[in-house]
Amino acid sequence: MPFSDLPNEVIHLILGPAVRARGFQRAVRLRLVNRAWNIAIEDAIFDSGILDKDNLINRTGRDVDVSFWQRYLVYRALHNKKPSSTRLAVIRQIAERIVEMRGFGLDGSQEVLRECVGELCHAAFVFRAVYGHLGTYVASEAEPIARLDQGSSQFQQALLTAAAYMNDLDVGRQVLSLRADHSRPDNIKMQCTLGYLVDPYPVAAYRGNVEFISLLLANEPESTIQGSKHRATIAYNAIWGNQMGVLDLALGPSFGTGSPDFMALREPLVSGLSRIPSIDIFHRCFDLVKDHLQYPSRPYNGIHRQKWLIERFHSAAERGEVAVMEYLAQLGAPINGNFGDEEDGFCKPISLAALNGHESAVEWLLDQGADLNRSLQAAATHGSRRIVQVLLDRGALNDMCVVQKALLEAVKVENEELFRFLVERGAVVDKSTMKEAREIAEDEQLESMVEFIKGYF
């Protein structure tokens, strides 16, 4: 009988102990065995309790993506078997209030509630409110969480921020009408746990919600964007979110280096460029601040500008943004520029592109004459056979030291196919590498790799 045809209750009984026995990383890889297992295995991982400790979110590397953690937070926020954390209780209660304001009754709107909680959990990751603080989101409270004071100004602000992220203009209008002169004093505990749900301007700007920003500004004492204290925040998050329409709204048609408020906006423009947005936004912002990249602003400094270009080039390579790399190279960014210490990690653009699986970026860098550096090892770490093949075609086998490291990376990620491919293409496995590979497989309890190595050699 196919595994996926078993009753859900039986599947859960099997997978729960299996997940706890295998540990997080190996349980995550089990999802890839069969797509039909994916949801059942994720639920077993979530319900097993192995994610509730040790701050795993900072140690998982490339085993899972942000969407996995988002689904985990949604699962915990809506799960009834365990007491919720204060942060997730806040998210759930805000979502419940929004569902109510949309005219749904909670009894018949569980899917709407799930979608709303999902968006708020996604926003938490976008605005870095979760990284480094996962424990505070999932740790169960000793005492049940009391219902929050929905009339407090903090709760109203959180509702407004949530509506801004989801671009729900109707809810936004309702909150703004309720908030005026009717909010009770802040709940201090809630103020400490709301995290990213404290300011609607950055989330609306990041999402490109121009109408919602206009709604917010219309309710400020200073009703025009030129006079708004929020202008810098809007500009920075518009750049980050790649929202040209919002950036146009923030800067206005005549903004330039000679504008009286240029220095007030210079820092968010320079900081925003560190996010490496689209080439159009990058071009516009760079033209404005290219001679004002230092902080505090000083006269043009060629050395600082070159360092800045190298850093931006590395960020573009890490994200696989070929158009931005091409533009930065035209401005003088070196193809092989170092950013960081080679001993501490991958510090060349090509290695960063390979590490993150960006085949087109690797190919473009090679076409521009980039050194191979440690790109083969980086590609093996990512597990991309296509990038490994591209690098081997360009002579990556000539560096024996990097080849051995690439073989070891294939063992670490339990990628037998990639290991075989490297050997078939001519990689020679020396005795020290063979010994280390066996030790890694045994120490990490990678049974399949232990057997593979024994049989292979």
Domain, as residue range, for 401:
302-456
User: pTM, whole model, 2 decimals?
Assistant: 0.77
Domain membership of residue 371 (yes or no) is yes
Tell me the one-letter amino acid at 172: G
Number of other CB atoms surrounding residue 8 within 10 Å: 9
Structural domains counted in the chain: 1
Question: Around 158, how many Cα atoms within 13 Å sit in the side-chain half-sphere?
Answer: 31
**Tokens 């806040």 belong to residue:** 90
pLDDT by residue for the chain (457 residues), tens only, comes to 344 566 666 666 666 666 666 666 666 665 555 555 666 777 777 777 777 655 555 555 455 677 878 888 888 888 766 677 788 888 999 999 999 999 886 565 788 899 999 999 888 888 866 655 666 777 766 665 667 778 888 888 889 999 999 999 999 999 998 765 555 545 445 455 566 778 899 999 999 999 999 999 888 875 556 566 788 999 999 999 999 999 999 998 888 888 888 888 888 898 888 776 688 898 889 888 888 887 555 555 567 778 888 988 998 999 899 999 999 999 899 999 887 665 556 889 999 999 999 999 999 999 999 999 899 999 999 888 999 999 999 999 898 999 999 988 888 877 888 888 888 888 888 888 888 888 877 777 777 777 777 766 6
Contacts 24+ apart (CB under 8 A), 424-428: 425/389, 425/392, 425/397, 426/392, 426/397, 427/397, 427/403, 428/400, 428/403
Domain membership of residue 347 (yes or no) is yes
Are 117 and 92 within 8 A, CB to CB? Answer: yes
d(CA 56, CA 49): 12
Query: Which CATH number characterizes residue 385's domain?
Result: 1.25.40.20
**Tokens 């159009």 belong to residue:** 280
Number of other CB atoms surrounding residue 87 within 10 Å: 25
